[in-house]
Amino acid sequence: MTSPRGLEPSPPSPGTTADRFSGPSFGPPDTAAEPAVDPSYVFDFAAYDDLDAPGQRWSTWLQVEPLSRGPEPRPDWVVTSQGAVDTELGILKTGKEADVFLVERADPHDPDGGVVMAAKRYRSAEHRSFHRAAAYTEGRSMKRSRDERALKRKSTWGRVVAAGEWAVSEWGALTRLWSLGLPVPYPVQIDGTEILMEWITHDGETAPRLAQTRPSPALLASYYDQLRDALALMVQAGLVHGDLSPYNILAAGDRLVLIDLPQVVDLVGNPQGFDFLMRDCANVCRWFRARGLDADEHELFGDLMAHAF
Ligand SMILES: Nc1ncnc2c1ncn2[C@@H]1O[C@H](COP(=O)(O)OP(=O)(O)OP(=O)(O)O)[C@@H](O)[C@H]1O
Ligand SMILES: [Mg+2]
């Protein structure tokens, strides 16, 4: 594949249009004297070296369609330069259905403007354990019947569709929740089975999962308040996380961030929506109780219901 970024600026060569095409010329007439160039046709041009290092690719930002890029208003750290390069920094965590990598995106002409993102890459169906069962997808429509048939046939394409389906689903949840103001990583872009998102850190390191932390009583209480507020906002929007646990919540210092959202379910549209919500409440309350906070899932559930209707 040739890249426009690899092009070198070439001097203007009068007459080449007429040399190569026999049809009428649409360009300005050739004149002996160089006409003054309209400034609106002049643009800054920077040449980029070819990429040959392993683990590098050109930024995929402009390759994906606009709806596959993150919602507005975009955080100012998002790198949109056409000349940016993505560099693999290594694997962050292997999961049951996806692996999460760290990827740096930076324009070689502006290295300080670079950013490290988390890249969540879904595996094909045969490489993951199917713990997200059909119950999650009940009530979801699959519009493309070719895809549906492929899934049933379990063809190679079917496996790609299945992996992509979860990626698309998580992308939809991330963009929606981020736009609602929920504490989720900013979704930068989706490309097939890969989602690039904000890397959640604390002190420059990947933020620990809530399960790994031992917060002080004051911080514990603050975490619980944050969680209740986040769940209330989701329930107001008719959504349930569906796989909430202290393993799918990151603790970025004193701030909690919800992650792992491919299975987000419709509270009302899914026949088990309320069961999923109750289970989410129970999972988090159990953890808070074990850390010494008086958290009751029935009380939390009731609280959330008051927000839903
Ligand atoms: N945006 C992020 N910022 C920082 N760390 C992240 C981010 N996304 C994921 N991680 C890390 O990667 C792990 C796996 O991510 P996630 O839970 O989304 O995937 P998963 O395939 O469902 O994994 P698992 O099966 O372990 O639940 C998380 O527990 C977290 O440690
Ligand atoms: Mg997870």
Q: What is the pLDDT along the chain (309 residues), one digit of tens a residue?
A: 444 443 344 444 443 333 434 444 444 545 456 667 777 776 666 677 778 788 999 999 999 999 999 999 999 999 999 999 999 999 999 988 899 999 999 999 998 999 999 999 998 755 554 455 556 666 565 555 666 666 666 666 566 566 778 999 999 999 999 999 999 999 999 999 999 999 999 999 999 999 999 999 999 999 999 999 999 999 999 999 999 999 999 999 999 999 999 999 999 999 999 999 999 999 999 999 999 999 999 999 999 999 877
> What is the Cα–Cα distance from 174 to 115, expressed in whole angstroms?
19
The residues lining ligand 1, judged by C-beta closer than 6 Å to any ligand atom, are: 92-93, 95-98, 100, 118, 120, 185, 197-200, 206-207, 209, 247-248, 250, 259-260
Q: CATH 1.10.510.10 occupies which residues in the chain?
A: 207-308
Check: CATH 1.10.510.10 for 207-308?
A: yes
Under 8 Å between Cβ of 219 and 252? no
Ligand nearest to the CA of 100: 1
Which residues are in the CB-under-5-Å shell of ion ligand 2? 248, 260
Pick left, alpha or beta for residue 28 (phi over 0 → left; psi -120 to 50 → alpha; otherwise beta): beta
> What is the Cα–Cα distance from 168 to 173, expressed in whole angstroms?
9
CB-count exposure of residue 94 (10 Å: 0-12, 13-18, 19+) = exposed
pLDDT at site 87: 96
CATH of 57-198, one of 3.20.20.70, 1.20.840.10, 3.40.50.620, 3.30.200.20: 3.30.200.20
Question: What pTM was computed for the model?
Answer: 0.79
The dihedral over CA atoms of 303, 304, 307, 308, expressed in degrees to the nearest 10, equals: -140
pLDDT at site 3: 41
CA distances from 23 to 15, 18, 19, 26 (A): 13, 8, 10, 9
Q: How far is the CA of 209 from the centre of ligand 1 (A)?
A: 9
Under 8 Å between Cβ of 122 and 163? yes
Ligand nearest to the CA of 198: 1
